[in-house]
Amino acid sequence: MAPEQSTETTRSRENTPRIIPRSDHSISRQHISDEALKVLYRLHSLDFKAYLVGGGVRDLYLGKQPKDYDIATDAKPSRLKKIFRNCRIIGRRFRIAHVYFPGDKIVEVATFRRGEVQAIRKASGVVLLDNEYGTPEEDAKRRDLTINGLFYDIGTFSIIDYVGGVEDLENRIIRTIKDPDVSFQEDPVRMIRVLRHAARTGFSIERTTYEAIDRNRRELPTANPSRLMEETFKDLRSGAAVPFFTSLEDSGLLRALFPTLSEQLRRQGEDHPLFSRLRVLDSWIESGREVSNAVLITVLVHTVLVPHEEAWRGDAPNPRGIWPILQAGFSDATRHMRISRRDMERVFQIILAYPKLYQFLRSGGELSPSYQKKSYLGEALDFFELDLQASGREAEPLEAWRECARNIPERKRPTARSRSRRRRRGGRADRGGGGRREGAKKSPREPREAVAGEPPTKKKKKKQRKRRRRRPKKSAKPDTS
């Protein structure tokens, strides 16, 4: 979104918050989830402050249904653990309570924090230190954006505004609470959040905030790689990926995260398939269709790993020895993010299947028997269908192909315990133990005969120690000399 023309920076805030009573706002408890209301009412009944905070209040004020609910309170984590039996305390940097409900629903509850966020730079990225308890005002002013700094009080049904967020919601403006340069240097990921909320809401970015993004864009790769990947997945699944990546390219942040992709977009313009694929992806997300992480990553890196334009349309076969080429290109393209090895390998399989699926489509619309059993067929078909829709081509045979993918049994990933058991069983067979045949009954264990001179086993040593502990100590003989 274009920056807003006002040059006003973070406006002065009074210590007294602005209170918007229930009669002057549209937030209703009917639109808040039952799980969040249960947590709020329970805390309020025990005389704790209980506020709905963050994006939940923002979305409710705009008439949208929040995806999740965050609650802030003055109850400490140890107290929350006693109040809610269905609670689990998580976090190293700052202890947060997750209250669990049926249906895999989670309500996050955090104690009010205070103080400036301290950023410590490490090899793994920027680490934030803000683990001191505080007041509601201090908690509001340490947040990133004014529209995310609002509180909804369950006791009075009013909105508490310490940072001018209600005014910015009404004027449709995105701005940081603190000075934007300070805010972005504390946490570079906030630059992504500014663009995200502008893309999702259609709001304008306050000019001083937008100019600070341009000055600090080179700081973005210093953020934690896992957080950068998590934020990218959020935006790809937001249903507003097209406006977000457009603003990401316009602001220069895409060049900082994916330099090769940014260079391709500047060179190819509208002929590049990224934005046509993102439009289809947005329509899928809006319709409720789920897309795996591997498919999302493939949408971003396909043209980077396969730079020849004829390969983007499936017109070129896979060259020989392409796997190490993909590995080298993937490491370079995603060097600022942390992606699991499983997702990386699945991306390679999707890319390798892409020209093959085009070949099957042109040769009569039937999959080869070997491809009908591939474990990655479902995700490869997702990307293939997305590309067909993006280029305006027919996708008639895909339903029959998907039936093959549904019939493929899901392979369970072995746990550490099952792997260790398998190694032990295999070890006996390798040493000539043979092992039990399938279907054979387990023979009763025979007592092991002790061998003279053999050192005692661990189990035997343990029994000996127990006997010595139980044996009463002999009293010392009196000295009769």
Say yes or no to pLDDT of 104 above 80.
Answer: yes
Say yes or no to pLDDT of 405 above 60.
Answer: yes
Sign of CA dihedral 122, 224, 256, 293: positive
Beta-bridged to residue 152, according to DSSP, are 52, 159
Q: Residue 323 has what pLDDT? A: 82
* E-only strand ranges, 84-228: 87-90, 96-101, 105-111, 118-122, 125-129, 150-153, 158-161, 173-174, 204-206
Q: Residue 480 has what pLDDT? A: 39
Exposure string (b/e) for 16-39, b if CB count within 10 Å is 16 or more?
ebbebeeeebebebeebbebbbeb
State what percent of residues in the chain have pLDDT above 90: 52
Residue 470, SS3 per DSSP: helix
Tell me what the mean pLDDT of segment 413-424 comes to. Answer: 48
Q: Residue 398 has what pLDDT? A: 76
Q: Which helix (H) or strand (E) holds 227?
A: helix 225-236
Q: Residue 433 has what pLDDT? A: 46
pLDDT tens figures, 121-180: 444 444 455 568 899 999 999 999 999 999 999 999 999 999 999 999 999 999 999 999
Residue 271, SS3 per DSSP: helix
Q: Which helix (H) or strand (E) holds 52?
A: strand 50-53
The answer to whether the beta carbons of residues 77 and 97 sit under 8 Å apart is: yes
Say yes or no to pLDDT of 426 above 80.
Answer: no
Q: Cα(first)–Cα(last) distance of the chain, in Å?
A: 102
Q: Which of 141-155, 196-210, 402-416 has the lowest mean pLDDT?
A: 402-416
Backbone angles phi, psi at 42, to 5 degrees: -65, -45
User: Measured between alpha carbons, how far is 207 from 251 in angstroms, rounded to an integer?
Assistant: 12
User: Measured between alpha carbons, how far is 262 from 269 in angstroms, rounded to an integer?
Assistant: 10
DSSP 455: P
Give the β-pairing of 204-206 and 3-4. parallel
Non-local (6+) Cβ contacts of 280 within 8 A are 386, 389, 390
Longest Cα–Cα distance in the chain: 110
The answer to whether the beta carbons of residues 369 and 258 sit under 8 Å apart is: no
Which of 51, 35, 33 minimizes the C-alpha distance to 157? 51
pLDDT tens figures, 59-78: 999 999 998 899 999 999 99
Q: Residue 210 has what pLDDT? A: 95
Q: Residue 376 has what pLDDT? A: 86
At CA 405, angle to CA 404 and CA 410, rounded to 5? 125
Q: Residue 30 has what pLDDT? A: 92
Return mean pLDDT, the chain: 81
pLDDT tens figures, 8-19: 444 444 568 999
Alpha helices in 1-102 (DSSP H): 34-45, 55-61, 77-83
Q: Residue 239 has what pLDDT? A: 92
Q: Which helix (H) or strand (E) holds 195?
A: helix 189-201
Name the residue with higher pLDDT: 369 or 69: 69
pLDDT tens figures, 438-466: 455 554 544 444 444 455 676 777 777 77
User: What secondary structure does DSSP assign to 88-103, as a single string?
Assistant: EEE-SSS-EEEEEETT
Tell me what the mean pLDDT of segment 318-329 comes to. Answer: 79
Give the β-pairing of 204-206 and 87-90. unpaired
Beta-bridged to residue 106, according to DSSP, are 100
Q: What confidence tier does 304 reach under pLDDT thresholds 50, 70, 90? A: confident
User: Measured between alpha carbons, how far is 150 from 162 in angstroms, rounded to an integer?
Assistant: 7
Alpha helices in 269-397 (DSSP H): 274-286, 293-305, 309-312, 322-333, 341-362, 377-390
Say yes or no to pLDDT of 105 above 60.
Answer: yes
**Claim: this prediction has a pTM higher than 0.85:** no
Q: Which of 52-61, 95-104, 294-303, 395-404 has the lowest mean pLDDT?
A: 395-404
Q: Residue 427 has what pLDDT? A: 47
pLDDT tens figures, 212-238: 999 999 999 999 999 999 999 999 999
Say yes or no to pLDDT of 294 above 80.
Answer: yes
Q: Which helix (H) or strand (E) holds 72?
A: strand 70-73
Say yes or no to pLDDT of 421 above 70.
Answer: no
The answer to whether the beta carbons of residues 180 and 212 sit under 8 Å apart is: yes
At CA 56, angle to CA 51 and CA 59, rounded to 5? 135
Q: Which helix (H) or strand (E) holds 71?
A: strand 70-73
Locate 8 and state its tokens: 């006003």
User: Measured between alpha carbons, how far is 350 from 296 in angstroms, rounded to an integer?
Assistant: 11
| Active-site residue list | 68, 70, 144
Q: What confidence tier does 316 reach under pLDDT thresholds 50, 70, 90? A: low
